[in-house]
Amino acid sequence: MTEFNCDLHFHGPYSTGVSKNMLIPIIAEQSKLKGLHVCGMADMLQGTWFKHLKENIVERENGIFVDKKEQVNFIPQVELQCSKRIHHLVFLPDFSAAENLKASLEGKAVFDSWGCGRPVVRLSPEELAGKVFDAGGIIGPAHAFTPYFSVYAFFDSVKEAYGSMGEKISFLELGLSADTDFADKIPENRQYQFLTNSDSHSPWPYRIGREFTRIEMKEPSFKELRKALEEKEGKRIKLNVGLDPREGKYHMTACNVCYSKFSLEQANALNWRCPKCKGSIKRGVRDRIEMLSDSSSKSPDFRPKYMHTVPLAEIIQIALDVKGINTKTVQGLWQDFVERFKTEINVLVDVPEEELKEFNPRVGQKVASFRKGWVHYIPGGGGNYGKPVIWDSQEEFEKRGKQLREETREKEDFKGQKTLGEFQEKNK
């Protein structure tokens, strides 16, 4: 068995709002620099993108797919929207299964025009799941908690949404605004495997791989992924890695115009209309989960730990105190780190602090501080991403923490993210 870093959800350039650089050769190159081993194929029912996949991905024996330069592996994947406005993440065995699924959905969706990478299928979640299972695939909720297009935006449980197919659902995708502790507050969710994926619209490593799942498999194939999702006793999902939920853009209940934040009680009293700009207030993931919670977070025995991360480019941006993450300065220094230490994941997790500080004192210190957990967050909401604040000492972290909590309405028991040392100690 081998452990693979997997980002199994993103989009191709024929979906709206996606970079034109989101092409397999670039995705493979950048994923390797990030430290990923397996990626999803994205939007594979869209005709032009399907042709691109066939031209740029090679199928080996045992259902293993790889780009032509053999940089990363791929698993067939697509995101679909059903008639209930829920987004679903679908994995398939091969190209033939994708063609069969598309044929079975003929007349129920438009697939081949521009913007149809995530097609709207005129079927209920139950009916759509049935079609996916008939094609030999796996289906589960995508970004399960966001206030738009998610299972928990419209239903109180996964089983309620999928009806008679509910018992066959094996996983849900957490999304950027939730982590394991949040998701396991809902009792029903303790039976599902959790996937953490980037849902990226850009191939650059501050987006792709910003969330990933470490999975133990014999080989990086659909068959092995299915086993990992269904055979919980084997504990083959080893680690979920992703942003702190407060960095997600729908974490807090907030106005979707001016991003002012509100408690659930305030939003209800205001009839979900912002008093400052008259924009609509959107319920946040945190409050939605609390509505369905049993006031505890009891993860099942098969559940791996969740490790919070911050993209390296974002840490460099903070260290240099510059505005743009895409500046030549930030991206050039990111490239220097990756060339020196092989992958971004190595820099964030594995390389000794002393080596990082010797290479670049300012960035090395911020990475060391991140690892120690000296991080607070200005939480996101209403469609606006949250912002990490990384302090350079324990004293500064503790002194400024109370002030920041008051400014951002955080609970008094917030103590920052778990340190890398604590994380590793609990996982020995």
**Selection from 420, 29, 21, 2 nearest residue 209 by Cα:** 29
Neighbours of 25 (CB within 10 A): 15
Q: Lowest-confidence range among 156-160, 234-238, 409-413?
A: 409-413
Q: Is the pLDDT assigned to residue 297 strictly greater than 80?
A: no
Q: Lowest-confidence range among 113-117, 267-271, 330-334?
A: 113-117
Place 25 in a pLDDT band, splitting at 50, 70 and 90: very high
CA dist 276 and 48 (Å) reads 45
Report pLDDT for 44.
Answer: 95
CA dist 249 and 175 (Å) reads 10
Q: Is the pLDDT assigned to residue 419 strictly greater than 70?
A: no
Tell me if residue 213 falls in helix, strand or coil.
strand
CA dist 281 and 352 (Å) reads 44
Neighbours of 363 (CB within 10 A): 23
Report pLDDT for 224.
Answer: 97
Q: Is the pLDDT assigned to residue 186 strictly greater than 50?
A: yes
CA dist 266 and 352 (Å) reads 46
Report pLDDT for 412.
Answer: 34
Q: Is the pLDDT assigned to residue 262 strictly greater than 80?
A: yes
Report pLDDT for 424.
Answer: 43
3-state SS string over 327-390? CHHHHHHHHHHHHHHCCHHHHHHHCCHHHHHHHCHHHHHHHHHHHHCCEEEECCECCECCEEEE
Q: Is the pLDDT assigned to residue 291 strictly greater than 80?
A: yes
Task: Supply 25's token pair.
Answer: 């050769």
Report pLDDT for 119.
Answer: 93
C-beta of residue 313 within 8 angstroms of C-beta of residue 208: no
Residue 326: alpha-carbon gap to chain centroid: 21
pLDDT tens digits for range 134-153:
999 999 999 999 998 999 99
Mean pLDDT, rounded, for 45-52: 96
What residue type is 33 in one-letter code?
L
> Global pTM?
0.90
Q: Is the pLDDT assigned to residue 350 strictly greater than 80?
A: yes
CA dist 390 and 384 (Å) reads 19
pLDDT tens digits for range 266-287:
999 999 999 999 999 999 999 9
CA dist 281 and 261 (Å) reads 9
Mean pLDDT, rounded, for 104-132: 94
Sole residue written with tokens 């045992």: 62
Higher pLDDT, 411 or 375: 375
pLDDT tens digits for range 369-393:
999 989 998 899 999 999 999 999 9
Mean pLDDT, rounded, for 96-110: 96
- Delimit the domains of the chain by residue range: 2-246, 311-426
C-beta of residue 91 within 8 angstroms of C-beta of residue 140: no
**Selection from 212, 103, 186, 86 nearest residue 139 by Cα:** 86
Report pLDDT for 409.
Answer: 54
Mean pLDDT, rounded, for 119-140: 98
Report pLDDT for 428.
Answer: 43
Report pLDDT for 405.
Answer: 67
Q: Is the pLDDT assigned to residue 413 strictly greater than 70?
A: no
Please tell me the CATH superfamily of domain 2-246, with its number.
Metal-dependent hydrolases (3.20.20.140)
What is the DSSP secondary-structure string of 74-104? Answer: EE-EEEEE-TTS-EEEEE-SSHHHHHHHHHH
* Average pLDDT score, the chain: 91
Higher pLDDT, 408 or 370: 370
Tell me if residue 193 falls in helix, strand or coil.
strand
What residue type is 114 in one-letter code?
W
Place 349 in a pLDDT band, splitting at 50, 70 and 90: confident
Neighbours of 304 (CB within 10 A): 20
